[in-house]
Amino acid sequence: MEECKKIWGILLLGISNKISTVSYDMWFKNLEPLTIAYNKLIIVTDLKSAKQTINKNYRNIILEEIKNLNSYVDDFLIITPDEIPVYQNKIEEDKKEEKTESTNTFDPNFTFDRFVVGSSNQIAYAAAKAVANQPGTLHNPLFIYGGVGLGKTHIMHAIGNEILKNNKKAKIIYCTTEQFVNDFIDSIRNNKDNEQNRKFREKYRNVDVLMLDDIQFLAGKTGTQEALFHTFNDLYQFKKQIVISSDRHPRELTFLEERLQSRFSSGLTVDISLPDLETRIAILQKKAFYKNVNLPINVVYFIAEKFDKNIRELEGALQKVIFYCQLKGQQPDNIDIIKEALKDDIDVSTHILSLDSIVDATCSYFNIKKQEVIGKKKLKQIVQARQIAIYLINDMLGVPLATIGSYFGGRDHTTIIYARDKIEEMVNTDPLVANQIKDIKNMIQKK
Q: How confident is the model at residue 42 (pLDDT cuts 50, 70, 90)?
A: confident
**Which is more confident, 169 or 126?**
126
Q: How confident is the model at residue 238 (pLDDT cuts 50, 70, 90)?
A: confident
Which of 71, 102, 133 corresponds to the end of one domain?
102
Q: In this structure, are 327 and 221 located in the same domain?
A: no
Q: In this structure, are 395 and 408 located in the same domain?
A: yes
Q: In this structure, are 313 and 361 located in the same domain?
A: no
pLDDT at residue 340, as a whole number? 86
Q: In this structure, are 205 and 263 located in the same domain?
A: yes
Q: Which of 116-120, 198-202, 364-368 has the highest mean pLDDT?
A: 364-368
Q: If residue 260 lies in a helix (H) or strand (E), which one and from where to where? A: helix 258-264
**Residues in a beta bridge with 42:** 35, 77
Q: Is the pLDDT score of 200 beyond 90?
A: no
CA atoms within 13 A on the CB side of 347: 5
CATH of the domain at 31: 3.30.300.180
pLDDT at residue 300, as a whole number? 87
136-150 average pLDDT score? 89
Cβ burial, residue 11 (10 Å; 0-12/13-18/19+)? buried
Q: Which of 154-163, 345-354, 394-403 has the highest mean pLDDT?
A: 154-163
CATH of the domain at 432: 1.10.1750.10
Q: In this structure, are 153 and 225 located in the same domain?
A: yes
Cis preceding linkage at 141, omega within 30: yes
Q: Is the pLDDT score of 230 beyond 70?
A: yes
Q: In this structure, are 128 and 241 located in the same domain?
A: yes
Specify whether the CB–CB gap between 127 and 141 falls below 8 A.
no
Which of 48, 68, 102 corresponds to the end of one domain?
102
pLDDT digits (tens, 9 = 90+) for 257-267: 889 899 999 99
Cβ burial, residue 301 (10 Å; 0-12/13-18/19+)? buried
Q: What is the CA radius of gyration of the chain?
A: 32
pLDDT digits (tens, 9 = 90+) for 58-67: 999 998 888 7
Q: If residue 228 lies in a helix (H) or strand (E), which one and from where to where? A: helix 222-237
Calculate the average pLDDT of the chain: 85
Q: In this structure, are 149 and 226 located in the same domain?
A: yes
**Which is more confident, 302 or 128?**
128
pLDDT at residue 192, as a whole number? 54
Q: In this structure, are 300 and 230 located in the same domain?
A: no
Q: Is the pLDDT score of 72 beyond 80?
A: no
Q: Is the pLDDT score of 47 beyond 80?
A: yes
Number of domains in the chain: 4
CA–CA distance, 413 with 162 (Å, rounded to integer): 35
CATH of the domain at 299: 1.10.8.60
pLDDT at residue 382, as a whole number? 92
Q: In this structure, are 289 and 398 located in the same domain?
A: no
pLDDT at residue 190, as a whole number? 63
Q: How confident is the model at residue 345 (pLDDT cuts 50, 70, 90)?
A: confident
CA–CA distance, 364 with 341 (Å, rounded to integer): 27
Q: How confident is the model at residue 276 (pLDDT cuts 50, 70, 90)?
A: confident
Q: Which of 151-165, 299-313, 394-408 has the highest mean pLDDT?
A: 151-165
Which of 272, 290, 318 corresponds to the end of one domain?
272
CATH of the domain at 151: 3.40.50.300
Kindly state whether residue 251 falls inside one of the protein's structural domains: yes
CA–CA distance, 69 with 10 (Å, rounded to integer): 8
CA atoms within 13 A on the CB side of 384: 12
pLDDT at residue 447, as a whole number? 59
Kindly state whether residue 302 falls inside one of the protein's structural domains: yes
What distance lies between CA 83 and its chain's CA centroid?
47
Q: In this structure, are 68 and 131 located in the same domain?
A: no
Specify whether the CB–CB gap between 242 and 210 falls below 8 A.
yes
Which residue range forms the structural domain that includes residue 407?
A: 355-446
115: DSSP letter: P
Kindly state whether residue 113 falls inside one of the protein's structural domains: no
pLDDT digits (tens, 9 = 90+) for 77-131: 888 888 887 676 665 655 555 444 444 578 888 999 888 888 889 999 999 999 9
Kindly state whether residue 56 falls inside one of the protein's structural domains: yes
DSSP output for 329-380: T--S-SHHHHHHHTTTTS--SS----HHHHHHHHHHHHT--HHHHHSS---H
Kindly state whether residue 87 falls inside one of the protein's structural domains: yes
Q: In this structure, are 261 and 282 located in the same domain?
A: no
pLDDT at residue 277, as a whole number? 83
Kindly state whether residue 350 falls inside one of the protein's structural domains: no
Q: Is the pLDDT score of 70 beyond 80?
A: no
pLDDT at residue 244, as a whole number? 94
CA atoms within 13 A on the CB side of 101: 20
Q: In this structure, are 282 and 257 located in the same domain?
A: no
Kindly state whether residue 112 falls inside one of the protein's structural domains: no
Global pTM reads: 0.63
Kindly state whether residue 346 falls inside one of the protein's structural domains: no
Q: How confident is the model at residue 363 (pLDDT cuts 50, 70, 90)?
A: very high
pLDDT at residue 103, as a whole number? 46
Which of 182-191, 211-220, 389-398 shows the lowest per-residue confidence on average (mean pLDDT)? 182-191
